[in-house]
């Protein structure tokens, strides 16, 4: 691994060529998922296109693109759902693409998601290859593709865009490209609230680098302004949007928290989620669901522990830890938690290493089986409760 304390080295040639098997495999998994969704939706008399582009959060993003901010829905129970809860980068891109093509805002969001998902897969490969080698990089991408909620990567949601920006920011950090890391973290902060995880990773790496470089030779000091600039850029996206919402609502820095409260979103340290899980064990009918939640959370925590024990680079651990904490400890709709964990791709590096150790035919069989299960589940999920 490149030492964060050293100046950037020239990039190795052929990074896209090295990533080609991963990207082709990723595209194949996504096509399978979309085909399964189309068949399942047609059998149920539903429109797969609508499910991908014009329901749940996708509808809110396209409304921001078309109407701007200020739209809200008041529910009978008094809750206020404001579109200020949705960060602006995806709607900006939807509006830009719709302005230069015949696409609607919804279809522009779908196009952005498809392109961003490929960029995200490439970024996941770049990070995993840099740390563990090419084979592990390919396996990491394929595991990210076959996640049970992987269909979200192809929806007009912001997960793919955010993961692409986060992955490439982390890669920039790992390779000493501080300004690029900060700029990408800024954009990630304009995409989702969890952009704070990317900021934290950049700052953790920067502060560690500062501590290690106090006695650096004079020849190594010329690049230090780049590190400072990258660290300064990183929080501007998230901070800028939160402060703008506060100004618009007249509530200052607390304005965005008020907006989230209208959606019943907040951070309670996991209390609401723990209570929700415990309630599943109050009847025999719901106990299997409760057991599944416990196993799922345990698996996520175990994967993070494996990353720590495997001495993953600090930026990856910080990023994955913050994404996981925000997903599991938020008091938001509990069915959305698997989707919120989707950007936490460093959690997949330990199983990617295990998959990389298998012989190619066996590894291909594992991935193919997981891809089929993911495609079927994604089709079932989007035609049912979906990923709000």
**What is d(CA 245, CA 259) in angstroms, rounded to the nearest whole number?**
9
Encode pLDDT of 179-213 as tens digits. 999 999 999 999 999 999 999 999 999 998 887 76
Nearest CA to 370 among 26, 35, 42? 26
More confident residue, 94 or 298: 94
Residue 88's Cβ-side half-sphere holds a number of Cα atoms within 13 Å equal to: 17
For residue 383, CA distances in Å to 49, 53, 159, 327 come to 12, 13, 20, 24
- Decide: residue 33, CB within 10 A, 0-12 exposed, 13-18 middle, 19+ buried: buried
Cβ contact 352:22 at 8 Å: no
Nearest CA to 199 among 217, 175, 181? 181
pLDDT at 160: 97
Encode pLDDT of 41-71 as tens digits. 999 999 999 999 988 899 999 999 999 998 8
The enclosing H or E element of 80 equals strand 80-82
Cβ neighbours around 118 below 10 Å, total: 17
Q: Is the pLDDT of residue 5 over 70?
A: no
Mean per-residue pLDDT for 355-371? 95
Verdict on whether the full-model pTM lies above 0.75: yes
DSSP letter (8 states) at residue 101: S
Encode pLDDT of 317-333 as tens digits. 999 999 999 998 877 66
pLDDT at 7: 40
Range with lowest mean pLDDT among 222-231, 343-352, 360-369: 222-231
Domain boundary assignment for the chain: 18-382
Confidence label for 9 from pLDDT (cuts 50, 70 and 90):
very low
Q: Is the pLDDT of residue 256 over 80?
A: yes
Encode pLDDT of 116-172 as tens digits. 999 999 999 999 999 999 999 999 999 999 999 999 999 999 999 999 999 999 999
- Structural tokens at position 336: 């959305």
């Amino acid at each position: 691994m490149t030492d964060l304390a050293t100046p950037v080295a020239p990039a190795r040639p052929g990074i896209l060529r090295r990533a080609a098997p991963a990207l082709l495999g990723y595209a194949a998994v996504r096509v399978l998922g979309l085909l399964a969704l189309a068949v399942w939706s047609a059998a149920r008399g539903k429109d797969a296109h609508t499910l991908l582009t014009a329901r749940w959060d996708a509808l809110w993003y396209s409304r921001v693109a078309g109407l701007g901010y200020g739209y809200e829905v008041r529910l009978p129970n008094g809750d206020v759902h404001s579109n200020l809860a949705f960060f602006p980068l995806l709607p900006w891109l939807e509006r830009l693409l719709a302005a230069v093509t015949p696409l609607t805002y919804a279809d522009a969001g779908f196009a952005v998601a498809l392109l961003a998902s490929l960029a995200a897969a490439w970024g996941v490969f770049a990070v995993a290859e840099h740390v563990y080698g090419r084979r592990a990089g390919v396996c990491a991408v394929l595991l990210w593709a076959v996640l049970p909620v992987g269909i979200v990567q192809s929806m007009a949601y912001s997960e793919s865009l955010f993961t692409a920006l986060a992955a490439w920011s982390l890669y920039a950090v790992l390779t000493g490209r501080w300004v690029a890391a900060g700029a990408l973290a800024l954009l990630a902060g304009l995409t989702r609230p969890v952009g704070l995880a990317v900021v934290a990773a950049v700052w953790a790496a920067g502060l560690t680098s500062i501590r290690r470089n106090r006695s650096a030779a004079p020849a190594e000091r010329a690049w230090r302004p780049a590190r400072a600039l990258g660290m300064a850029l990183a929080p501007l996206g998230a901070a800028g949007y939160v402060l703008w919402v506060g100004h618009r609502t007249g509530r200052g820095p607390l304005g965005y928290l008020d907006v989230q409260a209208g959606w019943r979103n907040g951070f309670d340290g996991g209390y609401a989620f723990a209570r929700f899980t415990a309630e599943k064990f109050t009847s025999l009918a719901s106990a299997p669901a409760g057991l599944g939640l416990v196993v799922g959370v345990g698996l996520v925590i175990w994967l993070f522990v494996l990353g720590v024990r495997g001495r993953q680079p600090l930026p990856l651990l910080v990023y994955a830890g913050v994404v996981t904490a925000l997903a599991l400890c938020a008091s938001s709709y509990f069915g959305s938690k698997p989707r919120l964990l989707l950007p936490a791709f460093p959690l997949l590096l330990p199983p990617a290493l295990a998959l990389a150790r298998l012989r190619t035919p066996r590894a291909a069989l594992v991935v193919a089986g997981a891809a089929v299960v993911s495609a079927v589940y994604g089709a079932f999920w989007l035609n049912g409760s979906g990923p709000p």
